Amino acid sequence: MRFRWLLLLPSFLSVFLFSAAVQAGELSFWRFDTNQNRLSFSTRGGGVQPKAQLISDPARVVIDLPGTTLAGPTANQRLRGGIKEIRVGQVDDRTTRIVVELEPGYTLDPKQVKFRGITASQWTVDFPRPQRIGSSPSAPPPRRPPQEESTNFRYFQSLGAKSTQPTLTADVSQLATIESVELTNNQTQLLIRADLAVRATSTWDAIAKAYRITIPGARLADRIRGPQLSASSPVARILLRQQDFRTVVILVQPATGTQIGELNQLTDQLLALQLQQTRPLTPSVATIPVPPPERPGSVLPPTRPTSPVPLPGVRNTRVVVMVDPGHGGSDPGAIGRGGIRETDIVLSIGQQVAALLQQQGIQVFMTRNGDYDVGLGSRVVMAERVNADLFVSIHANAIDLSRSDINGLETYYYSSDRALRLAQTIHVSILQSLDIQNRGIRTARFFVLRKTSMPSVLVEVGFVTGGEDSVKLSNSTYRSQMARAIARGILQYIQQYT
């Protein structure tokens, strides 16, 4: 099934002083190296003088790039070790914003955040290790014994990405429609309004760090209304999910200084979650100095490791991975610029992925290891027959040749929590390793994803019709880097989740 997500974020404080950049440009590349706690980003078409501040509630470093637009779609990257996530988006038509948000209960010294402008177009930001300041005051104690909670509430889908409501096979006339979620009574109540009678259960979700409301016999409205959250709102985030065809889940993440109260049934069609602010929410703001670039007029390519980062070792070498290079034989897949063929590109990458995994002691099978066609059903049968633990399908994207501006990475999964985690791990590994636009992680009903019983993902390594991607995918060194990034993501998943 496909899920529809609504992520409501507080609007950012308008407390920044903007200045004109050297020349209008666009953010073409960014990555965060978790080993060094270093953010790297590059612009093209002009340099930039970043502006940065540390803002509290929640603690986050906000980096504005005046006079710069975003080359690709908005994006999120989930992290660990005190840093919760990185968000990249467009604030207005002349400002790109990078937000590095810390985990609840953590802070950092803004004086230790070090910017370095190698050129006006190439920057690095070194972050100190976040320091814990105590347990988060916003997390209320559970009202019932701890339960097994779902781990798939991840803020990893690209912001602004379009997703569709699942096709409901049940009789929707018998389901209540959740029409709106709004803050009322001077922001002391969160009202959930339906068109029919509803009942709900609730608990504290320790993994998501949010209050979880489950409404059976319900569906989300196609154009559901949500509150406009600001920096002073008692709620930091609201996440709506159509968990299955008959169940809606609402996650409410309280802001610092907010306690979650009771969930009350005001009427058959109206639920009210009580919110209590224990202290005023006045975010503190600290300016982070950003020195001018060392070479304002120079432009260098994005920084990449001079030597390949070692692949992570894994203890569980009993994991079986099925690598699935798409198409083959009479089915060449997409034909791109210069006549490059999808089948050749993905076979080259797939063979290298398999070899790298085998070097780490992983048992690997391939649905094809040459230029021949394998039916979709046969690919599924092969994975099931060898009892594969993971299924990774590799493809290259395409669009009309006239759209050379469309480039970037997409990763697909179908529905399971484990498949989502696998998609996230591979996707982030690629973004951290290669200069490629981020088009997000998405759900899809691809045959090999729906019919396999193990966690399965489909990686679209770029557009053979794209002006940038086609040149890169034609390069054997780039394909090797892509294969290594995919293999690293698979190994990281095995290391963390098996």
Per-residue model confidence (pLDDT) at position 241:
86
64 and 73 Cβ atoms separated by less than 8 Å:
no
Q: pLDDT digit string (tens) for 144-176?
A: 333 333 333 323 222 222 333 444 444 567 899
Predicted confidence (pLDDT) at residue 4 exceeds the cutoff of 60: no
Per-residue model confidence (pLDDT) at position 3:
37
What's the whole-number mean pLDDT along residues 38-46? 83
What Rg value do the Cα atoms of the chain yield, rounded? 24
Per-residue model confidence (pLDDT) at position 15:
29
List the one residue out of 15, 67, 16, 31 whose CA is nearest residue 302. 31
Please provide residue 182's backbone torsions phi and psi, each rounded to the nearest 5 degrees. -145, 150
Distances (CA, A) of 258 to 8, 211, 252, 316, 498: 17, 12, 11, 43, 36
96 and 51 Cβ atoms separated by less than 8 Å:
no
Q: Looking at this protein, which amino acid is placed at residue 91?
A: V
Query: Which of 33-47, 50-64, 98-112, 441-455 holds the top average pLDDT?
Result: 441-455
Per-residue model confidence (pLDDT) at position 152:
31
Out of 76-90, 340-354, 362-376, 468-482, pick the least confident: 76-90
Provide the residue ranges of all domains of the chain, joining segments of one domain with +: 158-277, 320-497
The residues near 46 (Cβ < 8 Å, ≥ 6 apart) are 21, 22, 23, 24, 25, 67, 68, 120, 121
Distances (CA, A) of 286 to 15, 32, 52, 113, 406: 11, 22, 9, 12, 38
Predicted confidence (pLDDT) at residue 300 exceeds the cutoff of 50: no
| 3-class secondary-structure state, position 49 | coil
Query: Is CATH 3.40.630.40 correct for 320-497?
Result: yes
Per-residue model confidence (pLDDT) at position 24:
56
Predicted confidence (pLDDT) at residue 20 exceeds the cutoff of 50: no
Please provide residue 141's backbone torsions phi and psi, each rounded to the nearest 5 degrees. -70, 150
Q: Ramachandran region of residue 400, left (φ > 0), alpha (ψ -120 to 50) or beta?
A: beta
Q: How many other C-beta atoms can be found within 10 angstroms of the C-beta atom of residue 269?
A: 15
The fold of 158-277 is Immunoglobulin-like (2.60.40)
397 and 460 Cβ atoms separated by less than 8 Å:
yes
H or E segment and range at residue 106: strand 106-107
Per-residue model confidence (pLDDT) at position 283:
62
What's the whole-number mean pLDDT along residues 291-310? 59
Predicted confidence (pLDDT) at residue 25 exceeds the cutoff of 80: no
pLDDT band of residue 282 (cuts 50, 70, 90) is: low
Virtual CA dihedral for 61, 65, 71, 73, nearest 10 degrees? 30
**DSSP-assigned states of every residue in 153-207:** --S-SPTT----PPPP-S-GGGSEEEEEEEEETTTTEEEEEESS----EEEEETT
Q: d(Cα 346, Cα 334) in Å, to the nearest integer?
A: 11
Active site members:
460
Per-residue model confidence (pLDDT) at position 237:
84
pLDDT band of residue 23 (cuts 50, 70, 90) is: very low
Q: pLDDT digit string (tens) for 415-430?
A: 888 999 999 999 999 9
Per-residue model confidence (pLDDT) at position 171:
59
Angle between helices 476-497 and 342-359 (to 10 degrees): 50
